[in-house]
Amino acid sequence: MEGELPNTLTAQGCILACATVRGVFYAAVQERRSSKVWALVVLIKRGRGYYNCTYKEMEERDGPVEDHCPVRILELLSPLPACSHDEEYCRLCNAEIALEGGQWNSRALPGQRPDVAGPRCIRGYPIGAAAPDGSAPLHEPGGTASCSTCWARNWRERCRANDERERQARRRAKAVRPGTRVRFGRPLQFSNGEQRDTFIFVTRSTFRAPDSNDRYSIPRWRIDHEFKIISPPLA
């Protein structure tokens, strides 16, 4: 990977530790001049044909969306400098907001239309987010400031939170042994059009229907899906 990213690594530093998780390459990179260690994130996409591999490199200060960097890599990173911001930012759309008359409102920035201002997240909010009346949701404080150091700190926190969540999920899944009946938090859609939420665990990622011997593959069920144990395996 060092040879594939000459602009980032050969000129700036060397890799201390790395890992590829879910098609994303994470690395702790130590700068040659300052010995500072920062996180490199590379999105990798593979396809067919001669040019069958493309990538996009960024560092933690760019605020990557992908946030499954292993903790062993995070532990090698240099501490981030302290920073403070007086402004508040919306948790949903990250717009700068201010409390006015008991309501969080955004203001139109130079060059923006006046209608982007107000109490509603009309741009950038997550798909599916909506207020009870079906309109765009109201602004909520708790977003990240427009600061590369804050973006890096937020990224590290998300990576650690995801690691802990996955550890707990794996620990809980140890109680699921062959023959255990489980129910997932929502029906799962399969390629044949069938939907089911209750299965009997067979092995690894294989389950069967409770009322037949039909088999189903549910990859990453321990981590990606909420589930409840309905009954333990029969003795």
DSSP 133-189: TSSPPBP-B----S-HHHHHHHHHHHHHHHHHHHHHHHHHHTT--TT-EEEEEEEEE
The closest alpha carbon to 73, from 36, 119, 18, 145, belongs to: 18
**89 and 114 belong to one structural domain:** yes
Predicted local confidence at residue 110, as pLDDT: 82
CA–CA gap between residue 43 and residue 26 (Å, rounded): 9
First to last CA, the chain: 51
Residue with tokens 């062959």: 178
User: Which range marks the domain in which residue 110 is found?
Assistant: 84-143
**185 and 93 belong to one structural domain:** no
* Mean pLDDT of the 68-82 span: 96
* Mean pLDDT of the 27-44 span: 91
**155 and 69 belong to one structural domain:** yes
Sequence-ordered list of residues with C-beta below 8 angstroms from that of 15, at least 6 positions apart, any chain:
1, 2, 9, 27, 28, 29, 40
Above pLDDT 90, what percent of the chain? Answer: 51
**139 and 153 belong to one structural domain:** no
Confidence band, pLDDT 50/70/90 cuts, at residue 205: very high
**48 and 153 belong to one structural domain:** yes
Query: Quick one: tokens of 25?
Result: 């390459």
**105 and 59 belong to one structural domain:** no
**167 and 59 belong to one structural domain:** yes
**135 and 34 belong to one structural domain:** no
CA–CA gap between residue 235 and residue 179 (Å, rounded): 9
**163 and 65 belong to one structural domain:** yes
Which region among 75-84, 125-134, 175-184 has the lowest average model confidence (pLDDT)?
125-134
Residue with tokens 């550890």: 167
Query: Quick one: tokens of 212?
Result: 């037949």
pLDDT at position 6 over 60? no
Query: Quick one: tokens of 129?
Result: 């987010």
Side-chain half-sphere CA neighbours of 171 within 13 A: 6
Angstrom distances, CA of residue 138 to CA of 126, 131, 230: 12, 7, 39
Predicted local confidence at residue 219, as pLDDT: 92
| Better-scored residue on pLDDT, 5 or 90 | 90
Torsion angle, CA of 147/150/154/155, rounded to 10 degrees? 70
CA–CA gap between residue 63 and residue 92 (Å, rounded): 15
**151 and 217 belong to one structural domain:** no
Angstrom distances, CA of residue 59 to CA of 9, 41, 77: 12, 6, 12
Query: Quick one: tokens of 182?
Result: 């489980």
**97 and 20 belong to one structural domain:** no
Query: pTM value?
Result: 0.72
Q: How many domains does the chain have?
A: 3
Contacts 24+ apart (CB under 8 A), 59-64: 59/152, 60/151, 60/152, 60/155, 60/156, 61/148, 61/149, 61/151, 61/152, 62/148, 62/151, 63/144, 63/148, 63/151, 63/152, 63/154, 63/155, 64/155
**69 and 159 belong to one structural domain:** yes
